[in-house]
């Protein structure tokens, strides 16, 4: 018996070792000979800085926007890129969004759409002094351009227009028609901007071969021990649903509290929610991403990824501890807003938590509502469901759009890993996907894990070299059209 066990152990070790040895990076495609693209780097950065200074802030409805800032930004675009606005067809739709059309020489080819948005989230009041540079300064310092919108997503608006302007100045134009959509309300759902653009395209009978909107980046140092850059082209995005968890109790004076208050019951429900996230797993797009990165990892994690059949439970527990990896594996749970008593000495009759769930493609909005209700609802706690959006369809990672974006990125950055991925946030792509065969999400700029913290947070910034490389990549992509 012991001999059989020993032979089984030896066989297991041998299998793990062989699979690990064979789990090596696939040969990277040779980098194409990149043409020189002589941008005016200083002008590109100056233009992005000027764009950031417009406070095109989207606040939660029904809070109004500052129309002067939005009108001013659109006027600035036309004045800064006159060649673009005189050559391309330009429509203002949905109030403050733009739809541009660059006619191709071959009208038989299906068109494509390149998109970005120029609205930004607010800076949390009272945190302005925590920024290294003022949040709407657009200042260039320490190798970065600083300010709200520098990374999300005025960099893409400026980058696309710089690329088009550069090509027009040289008499170059596309073979197929290219649309550009610049949304003004992506941060609050895109229901006025991108939705109006889609309605306009539908009304004109336009069907897109594919679309490209904001998404992941060219990541450096995102995975411990992985030195090669990773370009993650998102082929899908998570959905979203927001639920209200409402706990009730007797009200009264705070000097005579009951054993369980509404706040206490709500707190217990939230602890239960965070301690019991929806089930996840390393499969689908998450598996595709990690399979592309795994062969570049140090020995121990490479061994584990090479033998997922054996180490999957341990791998998933470790990935759960990394916020960005955990978000790829499951529907996430995020309590974001709390409300209870209006006065310090008044016991609330109801305490309310607003909880946002980002819905993984394996789950439906109904699955999330059912799971949360079964987990926390009871005599004194109820779950109220708000509106939700399902996860998007998954675009073809072998399709033309993916290939053209990947080729442009490789031409600009040289040897790097290109992988499909799941975008854990929401974008206007969920609107554009209604008129596109495939919807992709990717920003051709280099970003590190530290810089990602600026998204909707403090010290939002983009590396100046990354911005310039992004513009050059857009030029290379447009030339492929």
Catalytic sites, residue numbers: 119, 186
The Cα 465–Cα 45 span in angstroms is 10
389, 457, 244, 369: CA torsion to nearest 10 = 40
Residue 129's alpha-carbon distances to 123, 148, 173, 358, in angstroms, are 11, 14, 46, 31
**Which DSSP category does 393 fall into?**
P
Residue 258's alpha-carbon distances to 134, 253, 393, in angstroms, are 47, 10, 49
Parallel, antiparallel, or unpaired for β 350-359 and 239-248? Answer: antiparallel
Rounded to whole angstroms, the maximal C-alpha distance in the chain is 84
Q: What would the DSSP string read from start to end of 228-288?
A: S-EEEEEEEE-EEEEEEEEEE---EETTS--SS-HHHHHHHHHHHHHHSPPP--S-HHHHH
Secondary structure (3-state) at 354: strand
The Cα 468–Cα 41 span in angstroms is 7
| Closest by Cα among 20, 37, 8 to 479 | 37
Half-sphere exposure of 332 (CA within 13 A, CB side): 20
**Phi, psi (deg, nearest 5) at residue 414:** 80, -145
The Cα 231–Cα 215 span in angstroms is 11
Residues 356 and 240 sit within 8 Å (Cβ to Cβ): yes
| Closest by Cα among 444, 474, 475, 435 to 110 | 435
The Cα 198–Cα 370 span in angstroms is 32
| Closest by Cα among 417, 413, 179, 399 to 294 | 417
The Cα 446–Cα 414 span in angstroms is 13
Secondary structure (3-state) at 332: strand
| Closest by Cα among 66, 113, 80, 73 to 97 | 73
Half-sphere exposure of 254 (CA within 13 A, CB side): 10
């Amino acid at each position: 018996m012991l001999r059989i066990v020993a032979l089984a152990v030896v066989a297991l070790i041998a299998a793990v070792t062989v699979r690990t040895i064979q789990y090596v990076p696939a040969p990277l495609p040779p980098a194409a000979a990149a043409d020189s693209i002589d941008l005016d780097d200083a002008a590109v950065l100056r233009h992005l800085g000027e764009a950031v200074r417009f406070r095109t802030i989207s606040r939660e409805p029904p809070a109004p926007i500052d129309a002067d800032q939005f009108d001013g930004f659109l006027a600035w675009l036309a004045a800064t890129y006159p060649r673009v606005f005189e050559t391309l067809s330009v429509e203002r739709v949905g109030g403050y969004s733009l739809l541009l059309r660059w006619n191709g020489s071959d009208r038989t080819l299906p068109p494509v759409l390149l998109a970005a948005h120029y609205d930004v989230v607010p800076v949390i009041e009272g945190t302005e002094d925590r920024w290294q540079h003022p949040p709407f300064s657009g200042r260039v310092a320490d190798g970065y351009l600083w300010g709200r919108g520098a990374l999300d997503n005025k960099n893409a608006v400026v980058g696309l227009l710089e690329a088009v302007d550069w090509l027009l100045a040289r008499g170059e134009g596309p073979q197929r028609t290219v649309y550009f959509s610049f949304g003004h309300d992506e941060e609050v759902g895109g229901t006025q901007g991108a939705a109006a653009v889609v309605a306009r395209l539908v009304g004109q009978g336009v069907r897109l071969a594919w679309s490209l909107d904001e998404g992941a980046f060219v990541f450096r140092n995102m995975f411990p021990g992985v030195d090669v850059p990773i370009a993650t082209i998102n082929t899908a995005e998570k959905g979203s649903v927001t639920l209200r968890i409402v706990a009730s109790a007797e009200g009264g004076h705070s000097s005579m509290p009951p054993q369980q208050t509404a706040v206490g019951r709500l707190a217990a429900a939230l602890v239960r929610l965070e301690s019991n996230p929806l089930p996840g797993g390393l499969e689908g797009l998450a598996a595709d991403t990690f399979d592309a990165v795994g062969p570049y990892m140090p020995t121990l994690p490479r061994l584990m990824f090479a033998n997922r059949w054996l180490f999957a439970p341990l791998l998933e527990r470790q990935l759960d501890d990394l916020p960005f990896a955990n978000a790829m594996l499951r529907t996430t749970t995020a309590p974001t807003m709390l409300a209870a008593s209006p006065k310090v000495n008044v016991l609330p009759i109801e305490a309310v938590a607003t909880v946002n769930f980002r819905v993984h493609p394996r789950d439906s909005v109904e699955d999330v509502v059912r799971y949360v209700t079964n987990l926390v609802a009871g005599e004194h706690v109820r779950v109220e469901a708000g509106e939700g959006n399902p996860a998007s369809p998954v675009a073809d990672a072998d399709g033309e759009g993916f290939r053209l974006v990947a080729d442009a990125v490789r031409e600009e950055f040289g040897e790097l890993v290109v992988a499909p991925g799941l975008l854990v946030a929401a974008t206007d792509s969920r609107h554009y996907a209604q008129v596109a065969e495939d919807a992709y999400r990717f920003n051709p700029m280099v970003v590190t894990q530290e810089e990602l913290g600026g998204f909707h947070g403090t010290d939002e910034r983009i590396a100046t070299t990354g911005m310039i490389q992004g513009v050059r990549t857009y030029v290379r992509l447009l030339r492929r059209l």
